[in-house]
Amino acid sequence: MTLPGVFTVLRMENHEVPLFSLHVDRLFWGFRAARWPHPPSREAIARALRRALRDLPAGSLRVRVVFTPAGVQTTWQPVGKVPNWTFRRALPIPFTAFKRWKVGSWEAFWKAQERAVQQGYDEALLVHQGRVVSLARANLIAFLDGRWVSPRHPEATCGVMRRFLSRMLKATRQPLVFHTLTVEDLMRGRVVAGINAVRLFLPLALGAQDLEPLENLWKQVEPAYRQTRVRLKCA
């Protein structure tokens, strides 16, 4: 039996990786979801991840790290500064091939994103039986009725950035609420955004498009975000 690869996609800033421990956690549970017979420990994953990343160039990079039985593979490309508050157009697309963990082929998500781009949109908004689940390459949050809400769906991908925001907001009076959402619900939001570990926030051209709640959220969590950085290489 061929074991599926397990991967994560992260942001690297001049040899520093934000949210490093959350990426390790995602890989840890990914190995178990993929049913590897001898899944590595968190410590072994962290060491392998450091080795895979330490010789990459300086700058702002998007890095995809794939663990396979044959070893660890990395691919990278430069990315822009974050956060970027430019609104992006999203095309709702019916979708069924959801995955909670980044395991095996991600082709269905790539095809959904490609379909959106071909039709002149920036992002694919994945919808299952009338319920919004995520973007093809990010989780979703919306500021709706005075609170931050994220779609609740049993097969929604476990995103690193969403987990970080959930942890940070849990300690406040305004925790992230998981709720069933439709496209119509999003249209009532003050602001709607995709969230992922590479680009952080992707504001969407849905709802009132009021950036103030999103900018305030970033100000609130930015200090904790910076503290999650792990340095892989001395200057």
pLDDT tens digit sequence for 142-196: 999 999 999 999 888 999 999 999 999 998 888 999 999 999 999 999 999 999 9
Question: For residue 84, what are the CA distances in angstroms to 63, 74, 194, 219?
Answer: 19, 25, 12, 14
Q: How many CB atoms lie within 10 A of CB 10?
A: 23
Token pair belonging to 194: 């995709």
Strand order in the sheet with 131-135: 90-94, 123-128, 131-135
Q: At what angle do helices 42-53 and 20-33 cross, to 10 degrees?
A: 120
Token pair belonging to 219: 């100000």
- The DSSP element (H or E) to which 213 belongs, if any, is helix 212-227
- Delimiting residues of CATH 3.30.470.10 domain(s) in the chain: 6-78
**Looking at the predicted structure, is the pLDDT value of residue 139 above 80?**
yes
In sequence order, what are the residues at sequence separation of 6 or more whose Cβ sits closer than 8 angstroms to the Cβ of residue 130? 182
| pLDDT tens string 52-109 | 999 999 999 999 999 999 999 999 999 999 999 999 999 999 999 999 999 999 999 9
CATH architecture of 6-78: 2-Layer Sandwich (3.30)
When the pLDDT of each residue in the chain is averaged and rounded to a whole number, the result is 95
Cα separation, 93 vs 187, in Å, equals: 16
Q: For the domain made up of 90-224, give the CATH fold.
A: D-amino Acid Aminotransferase; Chain A, domain 2 (3.20.10)
**SS3 state at 123:** strand
Under 8 Å between Cβ of 45 and 163: no
Which amino acid would we find at residue 103?
V
Q: What is the pLDDT of residue 51?
A: 95
Query: The dihedral of CA 30, 32, 34, 39: what is its sign?
Result: positive
Report the residue count for the chain.
Answer: 235
87-112 burial string, b = 16+ CB within 10 Å, else e?
bbebbbbebeebbebbbeebeebeeb
Supply the pTM of this predicted model.
Answer: 0.95
Residue 1: which pLDDT band, with cuts at 50, 70 and 90? low
Cα separation, 199 vs 76, in Å, equals: 14
